[in-house]
């Protein structure tokens, strides 16, 4: 699959709320595969469909090079711990720009997989931070 061009700030699509995915088909799986290639080429540990100009609620995360990218469709945070932590974050749409951000230390997310099946995931530490960052990008 080809890597897609990344939308750069201040493109207005980055400030537009992404629509929920309603159709789970081969086109969605192809977009996820293209996002995975784009994320590898960037390189990045997370990417959203809006980062490539597609205004749909699709996130891919791959926290280590050995990890297979995991797709999260229509993700939302359904629980967050009171405990917080600070972490330096960046974005593929703002290369070279980072900022220290405070996030919840643990979260539970609800999402659908690429086949439309409902899923939940508990995450803590760095993974929790990444989920929050990417969901904020939608």
Question: What is d(CA 48, CA 32) in angstroms, rounded to the nearest whole number?
Answer: 9
- Span between the terminal Cα atoms of the chain, in Å: 23
Residues of the chain with pLDDT > 70, as a percent, come to: 99
Closest by CA to 53, choosing from 35, 40, 37, 65, is 35
121: its two tokens: 């995931």
The catalytic residues are: 134
Question: What is d(CA 29, CA 17) in angstroms, rounded to the nearest whole number?
Answer: 21
Closest by CA to 32, choosing from 67, 59, 5, is 59
Label residue 65 by pLDDT band (50, 70, 90). confident
- Entry pTM: 0.95
């Amino acid at each position: 699959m080809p890597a897609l061009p990344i939308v750069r700030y201040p493109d207005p699509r980055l400030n537009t709320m992404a629509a929920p995915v309603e159709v789970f088909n081969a086109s969605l799986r192809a977009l996820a595969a293209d996002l995975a290639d784009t994320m590898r080429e960037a390189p990045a540990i997370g990417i959203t469909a809006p980062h490539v100009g597609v205004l749909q609620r699709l996130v891919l995360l791959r926290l280590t090079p050995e990890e297979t990218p995991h797709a999260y469709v229509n993700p939302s945070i359904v629980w967050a711990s009171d405990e917080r932590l600070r972490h330096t974050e960046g974005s593929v749409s703002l290369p070279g720009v980072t900022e220290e951000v405070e996030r919840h230390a643990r979260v539970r997310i609800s999402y659908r997989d690429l086949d439309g099946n409902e899923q939940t995931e508990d995450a803590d530490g760095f993974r929790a931070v990444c989920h929050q960052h990417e969901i904020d990008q939608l």
